[in-house]
Chain A
């Protein structure tokens, strides 16, 4: 409670300061919620509902000021809650960010996210970044970063047992320029160093990734991009000797589109020893993907795509595994000449050969139409998985109807679904059904929904189980106060299983108020 009072006082003081300053823009949103839950039954420990009264408040403050020479911006988001499943600390800072912009220079302090290249940096940090956008020809743009990668602010400041985290300190730069028309080149370097080991079995990383990127955009409709990066990273285990990860990663992408055509080609090769801490890469992989989408008139499109990749690039494994995934998909509107009908069919296969042998096949059909006063959407599918000798049949359909009555628009929806799984000769059946009703009165600012349903799992070998559920929600945004929304939600789930000790029922209720000003 004390922390909530402190948060409210700080926010009010801040708001007061902002209001007093002329030419300032302030925007505040607050999402407050209270609720209660109850769980009964011998299986109550299986529920994730919080069995007590709870509150949660998310406050978001934005302040910005513009002038000809200087703009600045500040954002703060903080959460207060007593529900440990929402956050294990009663008060936490979700984001702090300050930005200062001069005509060609930008500074960011606090939370920031820069993206240098796929392989080098694409992560959020807590620290400082500086970037320039110099519009003079042949003058490069520069971005510098320094910060810590940590999941939360209280992992860095005043951590406790729950929030203590690995501390990753990073710095780097990116320089990009367009020396030739339609061409852009960039050079990047990112270094990181880990401290504060949390897990004995996970090594600490120390090192960096450097490389170049390029792009060629001769005209709208054609684009070529690429990147080559190198890693030089040491892995420090809790005991034993250092391991070096010195490798390379390369990729080239082609995108083309024209009238009714979209073509994408991607090639990538990431060596077995390539390692990136703040970027994204799958080491020991060579991959090629092609996709072609062709429109035939306004109502039909066909897409062909293929993906291939393999591992064992350094020959260390006994066998190389190749994976292929070709697929074809056809979409058609005005099917059979019907105005509201649309259909699609997709065939996809997934092969692996080498150290693993696997064949998976997926066939899906979809059909949507208006049948009298009902809108229908039906999907059927068949999938086979060789690894577990499994065949799955899926069918689901929904029927919905729209009816206006006075201020309200009603949309009842019936959903039925069946899933049959045949695994190693054992057949399991899942039936899902639900009836829902949405009632909206947009002009009055009211939106409501109800849903009642039953899911049953009938298993040949294992225990059967079922879930009966009901949920409803109500939203009201007054016409006279459009910046405020009141919400009410209630849900009950009743779980039953034919093995003793598994039944339980969970109820949850919440009321919320979203405000912004």
Chain B
């Protein structure tokens, strides 16, 4: 609560540092009170400052088929008239002016370019800086479907060419999920596939009066994985939204199935297009590998809190010099260094000798209650983890094993603070040879929570 209060005060301080009833406080922004100007100006609900130098409007999106110029005049004296020119100041037309200085002008456009100027005249004859009000308005008779198709073709081209700079010029600063996240994700996408073929077709597009467009898009995609050389294809329907920025339409949000930014799909997608045509989906795993999964499985993998698990069995066979080791975060079974050699390094657990599990010095554990089922467990405790007091070398410690361990679950708190849970499904130990075998299943949660 305190932090929110501090931040609110900070924002307010920035605001009031510039705000003052005295003119001198505002000299950085806008114009001084004495100037004749417009306080705000909208072209069909698009703010003048956001319109850019050239504003393209699609005729089919015009309310009533009209273009509206709406604004509010400002002057120290009385505003006598507001006039609009659409032909580069050759002719002027009067706008409706209200007593509150609001003005409005509308016209039925043809499919051509208009050069807009706004002239505000005081009763003293003083006018605003007319040239500053200039905007080029292009009325297009093309369907917005065609307009969005062009944007998509350009984006797909930049993505296929792995041109991140060109691609990001088509992404809004307000991209849901963060343009920086999309930038990072797309850069990482480029490292995962080669020879991408992508066909995007706008199935439908609808616009709002404020210049946002929502489009349903049919896609077909074929990609080679850089890591494996395998080719994957998928197709379906997705949705993207676009908003006007710097006079052009830019990508504002995307839904699953994702076309761009697969490397951080949980951050870049803001929803799901639930339609029967979406049967499979390409994803990129955290390791950067391209994979094709059934649609629901892909969503689970992306949105299922990044739970990595194998409920197939992993077998450890003990060895003093060539022990099996395991890393929960990657699911790798690798050879650990020999006993009494260096600490386990990045390995979480290893099986050197028969009656105990060797555990990394930075990993702690606790036994879960008998009867805990690894397949249905929903969480592990957040406290109560420790090391076996019977043996702790400082470099590693041990968890003693016996026949009662079979069927039991052990929860681990790893070096990173993440949690894992392991179920030992089979345990065998030969007291003569001091060698044994462990078979286990595991689940690993990478997002830092204790939830499974």
Contacts and interface: CB of A to CB of B under 8 A. Distances in A.
A373 interface: no
Contacts, number: 284
A267 B11 contact: yes
Contacts of B228: 462
Contacts of B31: 219-221
A3 interface: no
Contacts of B38: 220
A165 B274 contact: yes
Contact of A317 (B224, B229, B449): B449
Contacts of B214: 113, 123-124
A88 B448 CA distance: 42
Contacts of B241: 122-123, 280
Contacts of A137: 100
Given A47-B197, A48-B197, A151-B239, A162 B229 contact: no
A52 interface: no
B14 A254 contact: yes
Given A46-B197, A222-B26, A29 B191 contact: no
Contacts of B227: 462
A282 B221 contact: no
Nearest to B231: A46
Given A46-B231, A71-B65, A269-B4, A163 B206 contact: no
A202 B229 contact: no
B333 interface: no
B240 to A, nearest CB: 11
Interface residues of B, number: 105
A199 B299 contact: yes
A161 B276 CA distance: 6
A201 interface: yes
B115 interface: no
A309 interface: yes
Interface in B188-234: 188, 191, 194-195, 197-199, 201-208, 210, 212-214, 216, 218, 220-222, 224, 226-229, 231, 233
Contact of B30 (A161, A222, A350, A467): A222
B162 interface: yes
B275 A198 contact: yes
A410 to B, nearest CB: 23
Contacts of B210: 115
Contacts of A423: 191
Given A75-B60, A199-B295, A46 B222 contact: yes
A467 B49 CA distance: 44
Contact of A516 (B141, B208, B222, B231): B141
A137 B100 CA distance: 9
Nearest to B18: A256
B184 to A, nearest CB: 6
A36 interface: no
Interface in B29-75: 29-31, 33, 37-41, 49, 59-60, 63-66, 74
A113 B417 CA distance: 45
A286 to B, nearest CB: 8
B360 interface: no
A122 B26 CA distance: 34
Contacts of B276: 159-165, 198
Contacts of B39: 182, 217-220
15 contacts: A46-B233, A85-B218, A111-B206, A113-B207, A115-B212, A166-B275, A198-B274, A199-B295, A202-B272, A220-B38, A224-B15, A257-B30, A277-B271, A379-B165, A463-B229
- Which 9 pairs between the two chains have the least Cβ-Cβ distance? A221-B30, A166-B274, A318-B448, A124-B214, A124-B206, A113-B208, A64-B65, A317-B448, A256-B29
Given A199-B299, A202-B272, A265-B14, 9 more contacts: A79-B203, A112-B208, A162-B275, A200-B296, A220-B37, A220-B49, A254-B14, A388-B288, A462-B226
